[in-house]
Chains A and B, each alone.
Chain A
């Protein structure tokens, strides 16, 4: 980071505070991007440690390490933090760093709001993490927060509701900023359909966030008043309906699933053409496919609820609409493969993660298709099959794309090449470890192991042990990632402006590290 600070001093605009005040008061998109990414990194290790505790308890049948209630706290917090504290902030970090650089804009449209959007996040994160210390412990009702169970909890449940509100606020502010920047601050000549696909996916993601975060806010506010002010939105005894919460929640949470994956599509769509040395195949169809996925995401929510019992006609509608999502998603996968086809590929770490993404995300897509089939879903709902499915799309999907993006742009950010050997170690251990954890979970779910249980019947022992071994390989190999990041910040081979031979786009026209202020005069795109 010191280099970024130097670049800033060299530039000699007006005096900026230094030390902690620099970071607290910064309105610079690069600083804020860095803050988001470090926040996500810290939370990744926090929520990852929870996952390792969960896997340690599940290493053998019986209760060895913890009470069931603490186990439920771990699964709930692992989910909440990984979603709201890791994947979403990491993508916001990418957006802050890359969107202005890719568009040839000097900064984000609303720099002060940008500062605010970030700095409320650590507050929410602290509220969530500190709830472990409160009487009764952290929230233990699952990240889905279903009432009436959620109504039963202690003070940490109210704290979680407030934290969710704050994180939603942060996301909405971030999204307004991204939409305004993309629509208004593109360099002359950079039409929407020439824009890098990463900007497109974030533009669509930002609209999804603005559409759905208020829905989540409404749902959790109703929980709050049910808990504290005697309302009965979700209490049947008072005329309410617990299932209504699920409808509202999933109307938010299904688009949320795509909020967690569309920017990943964007990153992979930048990385693959670079290392295939060939333009992205089917750019326009990629844009349309992303938009189709976003629109479809609003009409499939009840596929998370096939087992609550709904009329056959509703089941059929949600089954068919869910199956339809396979079409645009398939188009994307075919386009990535076609981009590689007859290219001139090299396999640096970003490309390795991108290829793993395409392959393993597709496995998650296929298990998603299996789960779309309502009768099969009714068998597999709330089992480890679902756990396997969403970890394939979120770990080998979202997280691997984040790794690909970090390795891809880190030389631009720090000015130093990362350690390629360590990067490859990180990749191979991650990809092997990840599959050892999550592949056996498909079999556990098929055999009938429910999710969110601290103890299990004996026939599930072997696959659980394998999964736990994999979890520790995967978890500890992330320390290599930490080493690579810190090493690249400290030093390393000097990165040129155009870091990768096949890289295209405005971000590669500025020096590495990117100066504190870039594109003060807009570049012209032909």
Chain B
């Protein structure tokens, strides 16, 4: 029996092997790039073949009957309507077929749930609407945003090859290593999925769930958030670059270098113009999805910043809203997401952009001070 299943799996794989010729017309799961994805792929092929077989037999009989047992060809109705033997047979046979499916499926379930003995661990956090990656072994942290330009989405420029499936900072992992994923979320539910790696796990705020993959081949693998997470659910892709061990080490060294430069910024004092220039970039990456590039928000859903009480009121309250968010709304707390320099920059930008001509500036030191007194700062934000 076992070899029968194996054969069916191979047949399915052979059917699937004709896929490259179809390129854009993919009829099956993506080409697996990990052992788990490979198992899932074969399991799916096997079950499809069994279903196809049953379908042909049952509906072969039905369509035979539709053509032969019709009044217009003069067929007279028989009157049988009960047969216990037949009923028992067609209850038992499906049951046996299901048992045959359950066994290989259970093996894959147990394999997928086994996250023991990883070579490295990455914590992944879902945000509205981007992913955060923390490499727990190497001490690297970064955010990964959609990098497809807005013009392509709005149709004012031609769409690129990886439209909506490209990010500014991909997740990078070495080939052939067991990567354990600790997945959580910051605001609402998200779900992290890379089809070719066979890993999908919902990201749940307040809880950490784990998953794993081991990429077999060097390459770039793309996926998307698959749990509805609000307005830009369709715009938070995942890109995993699987590289050689040496390339991975080089990447880690480079990331650590940039982190040091960024940390140095937090102890500087900037000119207003510098902060506005830097803040505009931070605003585009983190704020513009809701509050819009023109600062006008979306009426009813997301408030305007242009002319708002917060952006034209006391600067300490403004900083508090950006850092602590507004609980119960889509406004996230950015204290944990952005550096002191970036928060200072984006607050300064918001107070000086569009019609907001406040002329004042927040400095990284003020943000650092606010971090120290986070409890007091939370009070005005909660109003």
B105/A337 in contact, CB under 8 A: no
Interface string of A26-55 (1 = CB under 8 A from B): 000000000000000000000000000000
Partner of B211, one of A309, A324, A379: A309
Q: Is A425 interfacial (CB 8 A cutoff)?
A: no
Partner of A457, one of B48, B164, B201, B328: B164
- Chain B residues contacting A339 (CB-CB under 8 Å) are 81
Known: A309-B210, A345-B69. A375 touches B112 (CB 8 A): yes
Number of B positions contacting A (CB below 8 A) = 102
Partner of A72, one of B101, B230, B329: B230
Q: Is B26 interfacial (CB 8 A cutoff)?
A: yes
- Chain B residues contacting A459 (CB-CB under 8 Å) are 24, 26
B233/A373 in contact, CB under 8 A: no
Binds B, one of A14-22, A60-68, A477-485: A60-68
Q: Is B72 interfacial (CB 8 A cutoff)?
A: yes
B66/A340 in contact, CB under 8 A: yes
Cα–Cα, bound, A194→B342 (Å) = 75
Closest residue of chain B to A308 (Cβ to Cβ) is B202
Closest residue of chain B to A285 (Cβ to Cβ) is B87
Q: Is A154 interfacial (CB 8 A cutoff)?
A: yes
Binds B, one of A391-399, A429-437, A448-456: A448-456
Partner of A450, one of B71, B210, B224: B224
Partner of B233, one of A72, A346, A457: A72
B109/A319 in contact, CB under 8 A: yes
Cα–Cα, bound, A237→B79 (Å) = 66
- Chain A residues contacting B159 (CB-CB under 8 Å) are 61-62, 458
Q: Is A422 interfacial (CB 8 A cutoff)?
A: no
A359/B206 in contact, CB under 8 A: no
Partner of B200, one of A63, A146, A366, A379: A379
B110/A379 in contact, CB under 8 A: no
Cα–Cα, bound, A378→B189 (Å) = 16
- Chain A residues contacting B44 (CB-CB under 8 Å) are 370, 373, 376, 379
- Chain B residues contacting A285 (CB-CB under 8 Å) are 87
A69/B231 in contact, CB under 8 A: yes
B residues 180-212 touching A (CB-CB < 8 Å): 183, 187-189, 191, 193, 195, 198, 200-202, 204-207, 209-211
Number of A positions contacting B (CB below 8 A) = 100
- Chain A residues contacting B233 (CB-CB under 8 Å) are 68, 72, 450, 452-453
Q: Is A338 interfacial (CB 8 A cutoff)?
A: yes
B234/A68 in contact, CB under 8 A: yes
A residues 274-317 touching B (CB-CB < 8 Å): 276-285, 307-309, 311-312, 315-316
B residues 16-67 touching A (CB-CB < 8 Å): 24-30, 36-37, 39-40, 43-44, 47-48, 51, 54-55, 58-59, 61-62, 65-66
Q: Is A320 interfacial (CB 8 A cutoff)?
A: yes
Q: Is B380 interfacial (CB 8 A cutoff)?
A: no
B210/A327 in contact, CB under 8 A: no
- Chain A residues contacting B161 (CB-CB under 8 Å) are 458
Partner of A455, one of B26, B59, B153, B329: B153
Cα–Cα, bound, A443→B163 (Å) = 19
A373/B153 in contact, CB under 8 A: no
A338/B86 in contact, CB under 8 A: yes
B47/A282 in contact, CB under 8 A: no
Q: Is B9 interfacial (CB 8 A cutoff)?
A: no
- Chain A residues contacting B154 (CB-CB under 8 Å) are 62-63
Closest residue of chain B to A273 (Cβ to Cβ) is B81
Interface centre among B80, B91, B153, B228 (most CB of A within 10 A): B228
- Chain B residues contacting A278 (CB-CB under 8 Å) are 77-79, 81
Q: Is A259 interfacial (CB 8 A cutoff)?
A: no
- Nearest Cβ distance between residue B83 and chain A, in whole angstroms? 8
Closest residue of chain B to A454 (Cβ to Cβ) is B234
A154/B87 in contact, CB under 8 A: no
Q: Is B227 interfacial (CB 8 A cutoff)?
A: yes
A146/B110 in contact, CB under 8 A: no
B58/A334 in contact, CB under 8 A: yes
A236/B231 in contact, CB under 8 A: no
A61-B159, A67-B298, A369-B51 are known contacts; what are 6 more A-B pairs with Cβ within 8 Å?
A: A331-B90, A344-B70, A373-B44, A382-B191, A446-B26, A450-B226
Top-9 shortest CB links A-B: A236-B206, A453-B234, A309-B209, A135-B300, A136-B300, A344-B77, A382-B226, A342-B78, A279-B81
